[in-house]
Structure 1
Amino acid sequence: MGVDFENCFILFLICIFSLLCYSIIFKKPKNSRRGRDLPPSPPSLPIVGHLHLLLSTLIHKSLQKISSKYGPLLHLRFFHVPIILVSSASMAHEIFKSHDLNISYRGVSANGESLVLGPSGFLSAPYGDYLKFVKKLTVTNLLRPQAVEKAQGVRAVELRRFYTNLLEKAKKKESVEIAMEVMKLTNIMFFRMIMGRRYSEESGYAERFMELTTKSLALTKKVFFANMLRSILEKLGISLFNKEIMGVSREYDELLEKILVEHEETPEEEDQDKDMMDYFLEAYRDEKAEYKITRNHIKCLFAESFLGGTAPSTGATEWTMAEILNNPKILEKMREEIDTVVGKARLIQESDLPDLPYLQAVVKEGLRMYPPFPLVLRAFQESCEIKGFYVPKETVLAFNAYHVMRDPDSWEDPDEFKPERFLDFSRSGQEEQGMKYIPFGAGRRGCPGSNLANIMQSTTIGTMVQCFDWRIKGDKINMEETLAGLILTMATPLKCTPVPRLRPF
């Protein structure tokens, strides 16, 4: 595994900085625990706390080792920042059942002026009237079953274009980078669903959003660490990564302002369906709306929609395809099911998915083993008690979804790719059972687009399995992990050569 020199250098500077400023900055917190016991804690070091236990750039794996040794509920400290680490389904069930509202704030955001990862987007906005209003608007017009079904035609057109593109590469015997091709597909699907049919691929807007999404991903880990040290840095007038954050924000601002103006100046045709931008502009102009949103609100929401809607699905699809190609028996079983249900004369469709349980089980197993966000981060807005332990307000909650979904106490052979486990997934104790499988988060801040993501991922994987054989270099694909920001990705991108298996047109 390569060394992340950038992160090591940043950590080195922070340690030196902390040593110099310790006596001035680190003071006893105002809200002490007043004699109440905090959760168990591993041995710590002065100044850095438990930071020395993060021996790998794969934070979720370092935390997995800590929990395996010390327990499923731990109190950690990274510098002055208190963290509650949760690493079991039963403990997560207890917290989300009793404290969901209290942990409904993610506690991670860039500065207030940024359009990406700022306090007005889906990812970072505090839970309240604003977030409830925009979530209702989005779910109603984009994510509810009727809206998802309404946009099915748009996704079908892009899926066919995806197949045609792969077929052209197959004819030329070109290798393809799966993540790149899937990200293009997911991005254009998402773009057309929320921006409408008026924008063609030739406009270049979807491609531009993909570039900005990639830049934003690189910032997520930096924003996370900057937030951990924010209170210290603000006292010294230092703002980490602000130039990078605001640079990406300005690029988003220019692009989204152009699209907003085009929406406002282009009259709607009578037979043209409204898109998400139209609905948000209506709310922006509505003086009697439940919440008065601004133009910047709209830009923040759309910038983060691409970040949260394309990158996670892309990574999950790449991981799942890698496991499929590493397991020929699973590949053959998938093809047998698809050939029986769909046949060989047409491309797989979304309406086929209910009759393809094994395909859906493969997708779920991929998400279990490789959750897009291995760590679910929240913050306790108020102090509370968990299992008799005191948790101070503003403590960070780190729920290790990666650990929970590979916990041998919950899953048989947790490190093996076994889709069959989801064909018999028990419905008994459904709420707590659900905490064993949590790839999209949980509670009121869980991902509202999980159903749409599953549909898009299933049809994409189904198309690649149905229509092509895939040649890889060597006997097995390298499954080494890395993090793109805070998203789990393959350290070695999956590259393989498509070979036409059938042509369903």
Structure 2
Amino acid sequence: MPDLEAGYFTIFLTCLISSILITKLYTSSRVKSHLPPSPFRLPVIGHLHLLSPLPHQALHNLSNRHGPVFRLFLGSTPCVVASSPETAKEILKTHDNVFLDRPHNSIVDYFAYGGKGFIFARYGSYWKFLKKIIMSELLNGKTLDFLYPVRHDETNRFIKYLSQKAKDGKFVELEGELMKMTSNVISRLFMSKRCSEQEDELGDITKIITETAEIIGKFNLSDHIWFCKNLDLQGFGKVSKDVHSRFDALMERIIKEHEVARKEEKGVVKDLLNILLDISEDDSMEIKLTRENIKAFIQDIFAAGTDTSAITIEWALAELINHPNIMKKAQEEIDLVIGKNRLVQESDVPNLPYLQAIVKESLRLHPTAPLILRLSTQDCTVGGYYIPTNTTTLVNVWSLGRDPLHWESPLEFMPERFEGKQLDVRGQHFHLLPFGTGRRMCPGTSLALLTVHTTLGAMIQCFEWKAGKNGNIAIVDMDEGIGITLPRANPLVCVPVARLDPIPLSV
């Protein structure tokens, strides 16, 4: 009898283990079958062979073959790419609590002081604290209004510079000059200094930010191929250390200058750095801001606000040169609303709907952040497919703006598509996300749009633009360059020709 009971028990145990194994195998098979489709994958490098120097374009072409959601392995890093407004909405809104973190790599961590800034901080109490500071202290409407004279003055200076070039009949390389202007705006807002007037290392900050964007935008094999982890095969580590050390030394000097002025109480200007120092010295704050927090945050603002605004203006002007009928219509609108006796101002923008449409159309075709990167912190489902935890997710904003299901003639530059439509760029419409959306949407959107609209409007109002060093190029090329912020492959070079005489610089 005991032998019989032992036999029954053995049979029961065998059946139980078998059922568990079968269930696990079935579940694993079912999960695997519900993973997004994936192209053929090579050993070690995964799908790296499918990416070009312009990843957003390569991913767009892959989505045309594999659908709006597909899976890639960049070396050993699992990734999912979303290329339709519907899947973007699932990731950035429906499952926004799952995709609130950004993926990190060695270069980003180094530049971001180990995630101590805002852009790359993990979602949590510290990130929420910084977001509150940004929205309530640094980039709120009151502060932007208070610092309006800075933006106004920089626009005047830029137009005055262009006016002199027009008088001399000389060409302008717009990428460099626009970068100077936007970096001057940011540096004056934060530090009460103009980068372009500094004869020491402060004048190099534009170069530092450009180099930072270039390095972050490159693919580092050490982060994705496991046996290269401790090897600096491409030399990015060495370059990163050099660029970062220059930025850190520059920020350290500027912070010390502010601290000395605060102690002496001599000419303390309420710039944004002083606001951050006030917060760091406030013992009532729930989180203490450290020196590295402040440096990382300033770097975030420079990186996010300098070349992005400049590049947007450059792309928009290139499109207008290639579409003279649109340029003429924009000039007529400005002449009608503003006249020819004063320069367009920020307060005029709401009354210039066609200018707004031009900026929206340029951002649709040339988003300065072509890929939104997120990291899944939980298992979830997107587009009916299973997305495991710790999957790097790329929302292809460049593809969203070219989706033929949402845009008529998507490759054509047509600002008229926005006329009479309540389509904005502030994250409410998932086929147009140049600034992202949700909790991690770009907090500097308002500042960026003020700068872009006013500067582009003044350039349209005051000048005709002849492409080329001699003004003899009929069509401007629209090739994209390599970088995280979608620069032009060939900087826009033009000869400005004055429309107005004299140029109505405002006071």
The 3 A distance-change label for structure 1 pair 226 and 336 is farther
Residues 169-216 of structure 1 show CA distances to partners (whole Å, capped at 9, x for unaligned) of 112211001111111111101111122369993465652211211111
Separation in 2, partners of 1:161, 1:248: 29
Code of the residue aligned with 2:259 in structure 1: it is: E
Residues 250-305 of structure 1 show CA distances to partners (whole Å, capped at 9, x for unaligned) of 11111111111110101386986522111211222223322112111111111221
- 2:35 corresponds in structure 1 to 38
Residues 386-431 of structure 1 show CA distances to partners (whole Å, capped at 9, x for unaligned) of 2442211111101110011111111001100001111233569x99
- How much has 1:167 moved relative to structure 2? 1.0
- 1:59 corresponds in structure 2 to 55
- 2:485 corresponds in structure 1 to 487
Separation in 2, partners of 1:173, 1:480: 27
Code of the residue aligned with 2:167 in structure 1: it is: K
- How much has 1:323 moved relative to structure 2? 0.2
Return 375-384 or 457-466, whichever deviates more.
375-384
Separation in 2, partners of 1:199, 1:489: 21
- Asked if 1:84 corresponds to 2:83, the answer is no
After superposition, the CA RMSD in angstroms is 2.6
- 2:477 corresponds in structure 1 to 478
Separation in 2, partners of 1:431, 1:477: 29
- How much has 1:361 moved relative to structure 2? 0.6
Give the 5 Å matches for 1:166-177: 166-177=162-173
Q: State the SS of the aligned residue for 1:376.
A: strand
Asked if the contact 2:45–2:74 (Cα under 8 Å) also holds between the matched residues in 1, the reply is yes
- 1:436 corresponds in structure 2 to 431
Give the 5 Å matches for 1:30-429: 34-35=28-29, 36=31, 37-54=34-51, 56-110=52-106, 114-116=110-112, 118-196=114-192, 201-202=197-198, 207-222=203-218, 225-229=221-225, 232-234=227-229, 241-267=236-262, 273-426=269-422
Return 187-196 or 317-326, whichever deviates more.
187-196
Q: State the SS of the aligned residue for 2:215.
A: helix
- 2:6 corresponds in structure 1 to none
Q: State the SS of the aligned residue for 1:266.
A: helix
Separation in 2, partners of 1:339, 1:102: 49
TM normalised by structure 1 equals: 0.87
- 1:12 corresponds in structure 2 to none
- How much has 1:432 moved relative to structure 2? 9.0
Return 170-179 or 358-367, whichever deviates more.
170-179
Residues 31-84 of structure 1 show CA distances to partners (whole Å, capped at 9, x for unaligned) of x98331211222323332222222x31111111111011100111112211111
Unaligned runs of 5+ in 2: 1-25
Code of the residue aligned with 1:146 in structure 2: it is: K
Separation in 2, partners of 1:335, 1:152: 24
Separation in 2, partners of 1:388, 1:323: 38
- How much has 1:469 moved relative to structure 2? 1.2
The 3 A distance-change label for structure 1 pair 400 and 331 is same
Separation in 2, partners of 1:468, 1:60: 34
Asked if the contact 1:108–1:223 (Cα under 8 Å) also holds between the matched residues in 2, the reply is no
Code of the residue aligned with 1:175 in structure 2: it is: F
Q: Which has the larger radius of gyration?
A: 2
Return 145-154 or 161-170, whichever deviates more.
145-154
Separation in 2, partners of 1:500, 1:241: 44
- How much has 1:239 moved relative to structure 2? 9.5
Separation in 2, partners of 1:482, 1:77: 24
Residues 97-127 of structure 1 show CA distances to partners (whole Å, capped at 9, x for unaligned) of 2221221111134358734474222232211
Residues 118-144 of structure 1 show CA distances to partners (whole Å, capped at 9, x for unaligned) of 422223221112222122212222322
Separation in 2, partners of 1:444, 1:180: 33
The 3 A distance-change label for structure 1 pair 286 and 441 is same
Asked if the contact 1:376–1:441 (Cα under 8 Å) also holds between the matched residues in 2, the reply is yes
TM normalised by structure 2 equals: 0.87
Asked if the contact 1:178–1:496 (Cα under 8 Å) also holds between the matched residues in 2, the reply is yes
Separation in 2, partners of 1:198, 1:188: 5
Asked if the contact 2:37–2:69 (Cα under 8 Å) also holds between the matched residues in 1, the reply is yes
Separation in 1, partners of 2:54, 2:233: 27
Code of the residue aligned with 1:39 in structure 2: it is: P
Separation in 2, partners of 1:304, 1:258: 18
